[in-house]
Structure 1
Amino acid sequence: MFDGRYVTATVVALLVSSSAFGSPELARSKNCVACHHVERKMIGPAYKAVAERYAKDEAAVPKLSEKVIKGGVGSWGQTPMPPQASVAPSEAETLVKWILSQQ
């Protein structure tokens, strides 16, 4: 017999675990940590600096998600951020939301 409570519990568990993955683990798995750190500038800006700069920008999530995938240069100096073709749009959005929470 079909039990809707079991399906609901499973969906909630998947949502919680996927948002938990959108954090340091996802950043490490996509090698973001080769150039970025939470608190200090490395090759790229610190996540905290990004969060501070975009704290009041309502378009930050889509703008930065696109930059993660396509790359860019000029926002933080002349060191380019290469395109990250292995990052899916949903992963980029998850990463950006996590980065923006690092204030």
Structure 2
Amino acid sequence: MKHKLIALLLCAGISSIVNAQDKDEPAGKQLILKSDCKACHTEKNKLVGPSYKDIAAKYPSNSKNITLLAGKIIKGGSGVWGQIPMAPHPQMNKKEAEEMVKYILTVK
């Protein structure tokens, strides 16, 4: 019983460390990590969709592009990066999508 309690306390401590590290990440990255984005995108390499690095290279970080790309996250899109369409994410609100885009456009 004592060993189980110690194991639980250690896991709780590790969980606290992981959560503390998450708080140090930009808000947009935190939202991405909690979403299904990683099923199709990575930071540096093309997966199903373009990498965040490629997106950042194509779109300068400005309010026009942030609004445009946030809309694509929410509504979905196709044709810009190939034949495979991006699924819509209507559950995401505009502010969350914009935070994600702001982060994506910093990936170099």
In 2, Cα distance between equivalents of 1:79 and 1:57: 26
In 1, Cα distance between equivalents of 2:26 and 2:48: 26
- Kindly state the Cα deviation for residue 57 of structure 1 after the two structures are TM-superposed: 6.0
Aligned pair 1:92/2:101, yes or no?
Answer: no
2:38 to 20, 33, 40: 33
1:51-103 deviation line (CA, Å, top 9, x unaligned): 00002665210000000000010000010001011211110000000000102
State the AA in 2 paired with 1:60. Answer: N
1:31-62 deviation line (CA, Å, top 9, x unaligned): 11010000000000000000000026652100
Aligned pair 1:47/2:58, yes or no?
Answer: no
Aligned partner of residue 98 in structure 2, secondary structure? helix
Q: 1:26 to 1:57 in 2, by over 3 A?
A: closer
Which protein has the larger Cα radius of gyration, Structure 1 or Structure 2? Answer: 2
Would the aligned equivalents of 1:30 and 1:86 in 2 still touch at CA under 8 Å?
Answer: no
Aligned pair 1:21/2:32, yes or no?
Answer: no
Residue correspondences, number: 86
Q: TM-score, normalised by structure 2?
A: 0.72
Percent identity between the aligned chains?
Answer: 39
Gaps of 5+ in 1: 1-16
| Deviant stretches of 4+, over 6 Å | none
Q: TM-score, normalised by structure 1?
A: 0.76
Aligned partner of residue 26 in structure 2, secondary structure? helix
Would the aligned equivalents of 1:73 and 1:80 in 2 still touch at CA under 8 Å?
Answer: yes
Would the aligned equivalents of 1:30 and 1:87 in 2 still touch at CA under 8 Å?
Answer: no
